[in-house]
Each structure stands twice: as C-alpha cells, then as structure tokens.
Chains A and B, each alone.
Chain A
Amino acid sequence: MTRQDTSANETTWQLMSWERLERLVPLLILVAVVAGIMLLASQFGIVQQRRVTLGFISLISVVGLYVFMGNSGVLNFSSVGFMAIGAYVSALLTMRPQVKATFLRDLPDWLAAAQFDPITGALAGGAAAALVALVVGLPIMRLSGIGAGIATLSILIIFYIVLGNWTGVTGGQRSLMGLPTYVTIWNAGLAAIGAIVLAFVYQESRSCLALRASREDEVAARSAGVRVVRERLTAFVLGAFICGIAGVFYGHFLGTLRVENFYLDPTFLYITMLVVGGMRSLTGAVVGVIVISTLAELLRLLEIGGRLPALDVTLKAPAGLGDVVLAALMLGIILFRPQGITGGREITLRGMRG
C-alpha cells in the first residue's frame, strides 16, 4: 500500500467516526438537558423536587409511548395500562409481607411471604408489561388508523376493569397502600436518562428504520420486504417495557396505587405531551414533556391562587383552567403545527435535523 493510500484510508476512517459521533449528538444533548434539570432541581426544596420527579416519571412514560407510536405512526391509547401492570407487579413483589397481609389477604402464599429488592421489582414490573404487550400485541399489530385507536383503547379499558376488580391481588377499588417509597429525583432522573438511551439505541436500529418506513407507507414498506407486524410488535413490546418502568416509579413515588391513576386522564396527558412536542422524534417527546409539565405546573399554581407582592394584586384562576388551556394548546398544535414543536426532527448542534 502506498503512503497516499494510507492517508486516504485514515481520512475515511476519521470521517466515518465523526459521522458516527454526529449521529449521537441528539442523544447527548437530550441526556445533558435531563441531567441539567435534575441538578438544578436538586438545589430547590422538597416540594419542587417532587414536582420535577413527577415530570421525570411522565418523561419515562412518554418516551415509552414514543417508541411505538412515534416510530410506527399507529395510534396507541394503551400505554398507561402497561404503566399499571408495571406498578402493580412491582408493588406486589416489594411490599413488606406484613403490609400485604393487611391489604391483600387472598394472595398466594409464596407471593404473600416474599419481598424482593426494588431493582428486581422494577425489572419484573417492566418485564411483565412487556410480556403482556407481546401477547395482546400479536393480534392488534396488523391494525392501523382508527382501528388501532379503538383496539388499544379497548385494551386500556380491559386492563382498568380487570385491575379494578381483581380484589385479591390488586386491592380492587380500594387503594393499595404501603409501597416502599424509594423514588428520589436522582433515581427517577437516571431512569429517565436510561429510557432516552434505550429509545435512541432502538431508533438507530435497522428494525426501527423498517418501522419508520411502514409509518410513511405501509404498502410500499411491504414491497420493500418489511415485516410490518413483526417490526411493530418489537416497538410495542419495548415501549410497554419502558412504560412499565414508568409505572413502577409512579407507584413507588406515591406509595399508594389506585386504578383511577392509570386510566384516561394520564393517557390523554401523555398523548398531548407527545403530540405537542412532535411525535416523530425523541426530541419531540422530551420537549413535549418539559413544555406541558412546566405549563401545567404554572396553571396549577394559578388555580391555587396567589398574591403578586410586586404588583399588589391577587391572581386566582377559575378551577379547570389548566385542563382547558392544555386542550386548547393540543388543538392549536394539531391545527397549525401538526408535526409538533420540534416538527418531528431531532435536535443537533446546528439546530434541528430531519
């Protein structure tokens, strides 16, 4: 090999590694943003920290929703149901046996006596959600459009009814209390970063490119050899795993589980977050959670009311203003910026990338 060849090869190698590095830029920026929020919030009081922690939990769930809905373009109302599965499975595995004896008298003996550590509980919660997604996903992954919307909404309803009536295992309509509350801003923030990394790695995979192709044109994707049902199922299961983890954190954040917490309100909140941010990109999922969480928090404070000392006026918004504003924002985005704030692009150093 001549000297010229060697230098040419080196240049190619450098170009390739730079290209590879450049692909990671969106991930690095998103992780830095979440880490920044985590560090900043840790300087504030416990009340603010808890609001941000709740935001991180929303972030995990919305990232889980994005993995399937954003990449497949198929409507999904069931993600909160998978949160519920994660939350209840982890609760049952990590609660103290004495507490279980109080609230859940009909558990099988081995489960009643067992107590696992939080990490085992969390992974089992995520895995259970993924497993259920695999089973229910098989028949419904061939649907798209309004059919998929109705099918996934039906799944959410079924989960809700089953969990709400399986009194022996979930406590049914009563609240399930006494979950170990180990969630802090640190572990929730790290889990959010983990979810982002997982979603990004998936997004760069060949499976996800095939899924995105099917989102653009399902018929053409089949003509390009894409196994549409299989690729959708992969994303559905991965998304359910991430949502399951979000549910685990939610349960151990509140310490109490109620089935109502896993029904329509959070479903629409998370979908709003994803759509407002831009459902075709991971950046969109993250931006949506940040924007909506911040806005919801401001509106909540406004509804509580408060005095602005500087202007000497008392602000008090009518109850329900928050929900109305969020709904109006969703409407505005769908009408005027259907690809969301990010336009469905990922963030880069130069701005937004297609």
Chain B
Amino acid sequence: MVNSAHSEHMHRKPCIWTEADLKGCSDMELEASGVTVRFGGIRAVENVSLRFGIHEIVGLIGPNGAGKTTLVNALSGFQKPRSGRICLAGKDVTGWRSDALARHGVARTFQAVRLFRGLTVAENIETALLSTGLARSAARARARDILGYLHLSNRADTLASGLNYGDERRVGIARALAMEPKFLLLDEPAAGLNIGEAEELGQTIASIRDDFGCGILVIEHNMALVMKLCERLHVLATGMTLATGTPTEVMADPAFKDAYLGAET
C-alpha cells in the first residue's frame, strides 16, 4: 500500500518563496495568498501568504494566538477568509467547503484530535476511506493496512474513546492519511507527548512524506522536533508573517528572536 516510488523524487532542498513567486500555484502546491481572517474586530490572520508543495515538510510556528490554527482552518476550508485566496493544485478553492477540500486531497488533524469516540478505531478510518469513494470491503482492508503502518493494528476494534493519549493522536493521523491526502496539515501533533514519543512521531511524519508522497504543513511548538523535521519554516506573530526560510535562517533572524523566543523564555 505504501508508495515508496515517490521517495526518489523527494526534495529535501529548501526553497524560499518570494512575493513574485506567489502569483499562482502549480499543480503540486497548496497555497494561501494574501489571506486575512478577522473575528469581529480582531485580526486573527492578516495578509498571510504561504505555499508548500508535495514531498515538502514545512513548519508553521509562532507564539500562542499567532493565528497558526486559523491559517490551517483557512487552508482546509473550515474558515472562510475575509480576503485573499486559497489555491489547490492550480485551482482557486477559496470558499470551498471543508469536506470537499478533504476529498480533493487536503487532509488535516486537530489539536484536540477529535476522533469519533463512539466508533471503533477501524470505523474511524473507514469513514474517511469511504468518503474517498472506496467500496466497503476495500475500505475495510485498506483501514487494516493504514493501522498497521502506524502500529495500531491491535487497536482496530477498540472504541476510540478507550484509547490512550498517544494512540489517540496516531489514530487522528491515520484518519487524515486515509483521505489519501496530497497535502497534510498537522495541528500540534506532538502536543502532550514526552521526548521519546515526540521523536518517534517525528520519524513517522518524515516517513509519511516519503511513503505517501504528500506535502506536510505542521504546526508545532516543540522546536527540537521542528528543527529536525522541517525543510522550511513560516513564522507567524499576531496574525502576520514574521519570518520565512530554512530553520537555520529563521533562527538567526533577529525579528524571530525578539518575537518568538523572547516571548517564550
């Protein structure tokens, strides 16, 4: 089930987009351009442009309340931007419903995981698979494959409400993977995990990119994980883009040091 052929095309080379690049997105990209989201008078996200391609892992970082989740909500159709565009594989998808975007290759996880707690783990995965159009028997088999991939085989028939925290997070990722995403948006996947678990998760995320050939945007506070995992970082602060670039470049950026590390420590 794993498409390892993609790993050969893997681009580890970091690429930094300039404003001029952000005019239109190619077949292999998910893009937010000039996106603004306001809640009442509060600017949650202000004129943010970000794009990433398949086979790429991009970190979306910033202090709490910087607008990271709002941006992911906008990219996945859960939040309609007040202005700006969302572009998927060369197509303007601004205003698309979240379920339609999910079926077209933009899958996400949630900070609060949000499993279907009254359903079994296998059913959680099958729900996603069925909405991609698989037949029931095919979905059942594929669900076993995906659960096996994430070392959750022995949990298949457990009710999702009975999972421990780490398994719960992995099932959340499994459910997103079941959508056969071209773009995977992970909202704080390592939150609440210990160092060892977070490291293991980092390896899983990297192998997902290689095996499924999707682009991954990951919101994460664990800087060690971010530095190791991401080829490129996008830093938000108070809803605006503060810095972009490779992890090393961003860490060296004085604006980043002030706003982010300064605020955190």
Binding site for B on A (CB under 8 A): 206, 209-210, 212-213, 215-217, 219-228, 280, 344, 354
B97 engages A221 (CB within 8 Å): no
B102 engages A223 (CB within 8 Å): yes
Bound Cα distance A224, B123 (Å): 12
B238 at the interface (CB under 8 A from A): no
Considering the complex, which residues of chain B in the window 75-97 have a beta carbon less than 8 Å from any beta carbon of chain A? 76, 78, 97
B99 engages A228 (CB within 8 Å): yes
Considering the complex, which residues of chain B in the window 170-222 have a beta carbon less than 8 Å from any beta carbon of chain A? 175-176, 178-179
A222 engages B126 (CB within 8 Å): no
Q: Return chain B residues, CB-CB under 8 Å to A206.
A: 130, 136, 139
The answer to whether A222 and B119 touch (CB under 8 A), given A206-B136, A209-B130, A210-B130, is no
Pick the most buried of A219, A224, A225: most chain B CB atoms within 10 A of its CB: A224
B187 to chain A, nearest CB (A): 11
Pick the most buried of B131, B159, B176: most chain A CB atoms within 10 A of its CB: B131
Q: Return chain B residues, CB-CB under 8 Å to A223.
A: 76, 78, 98-99, 102, 107-108, 110, 114, 176
Bound Cα distance A223, B99 (Å): 6
The answer to whether A210 and B118 touch (CB under 8 A), given A220-B110, A223-B108, is no
A222 engages B127 (CB within 8 Å): no
A227 engages B116 (CB within 8 Å): no
Q: Return chain A residues, CB-CB under 8 Å to B102.
A: 222-225
Q: Return chain A residues, CB-CB under 8 Å to B127.
A: 209-210, 213, 221, 224, 226
A225 engages B116 (CB within 8 Å): no
B119 interface neighbour in A212, A225, A227, Cβ under 8 Å: A212
The answer to whether A354 and B116 touch (CB under 8 A), given A223-B176, A224-B175, A225-B132, is no
Can you sample 10 A-B contacts with CB below 8 Å?
Answer: A212-B118, A212-B123, A215-B118, A217-B117, A219-B110, A220-B175, A222-B97, A222-B98, A223-B98, A223-B107
A225 interface neighbour in B115, B123, B136, B179, Cβ under 8 Å: B179
B128 at the interface (CB under 8 A from A): yes
B114 engages A219 (CB within 8 Å): yes
How many A-B contacts are there with CB distance less than 8 Å?
Answer: 81
Bound Cα distance A280, B76 (Å): 30
Bound Cα distance A291, B114 (Å): 35
**Which secondary structure dominates chain A's binding surface?**
helix
Bound Cα distance A166, B40 (Å): 47
Bound Cα distance A213, B119 (Å): 7
From B113, which residue of chain A is reached at the shortest CB distance? A220
B78 engages A219 (CB within 8 Å): yes
B120 at the interface (CB under 8 A from A): yes
From A215, which residue of chain B is reached at the shortest CB distance? B118
10 smallest CB-CB distances across A and B, nearest first, come from A225-B131, A216-B116, A220-B114, A224-B128, A225-B102, A213-B127, A225-B103, A222-B98, A222-B99, A206-B130
Considering the complex, which residues of chain B in the window 129-182 have a beta carbon less than 8 Å from any beta carbon of chain A? 130-132, 136, 139, 159, 175-176, 178-179
Q: Return chain B residues, CB-CB under 8 Å to A217.
A: 114-117
B126 to chain A, nearest CB (A): 7
A225 engages B118 (CB within 8 Å): no
Q: Return chain A residues, CB-CB under 8 Å to B176.
A: 223
Q: Return chain A residues, CB-CB under 8 Å to B178.
A: 224
A212 engages B78 (CB within 8 Å): no
Q: Return chain A residues, CB-CB under 8 Å to B117.
A: 216-217
From A207, which residue of chain B is reached at the shortest CB distance? B130
A213-B123, A224-B127, A225-B132 are known; give 13 further A-B pairs, CB within 8 A.
Answer: A209-B123, A210-B131, A212-B119, A213-B119, A215-B118, A217-B115, A217-B117, A220-B116, A223-B78, A223-B108, A223-B176, A224-B178, A225-B102
Bound Cα distance A213, B136 (Å): 15
From A73, which residue of chain B is reached at the shortest CB distance? B118
Q: Return chain B residues, CB-CB under 8 Å to A210.
A: 127, 130-131
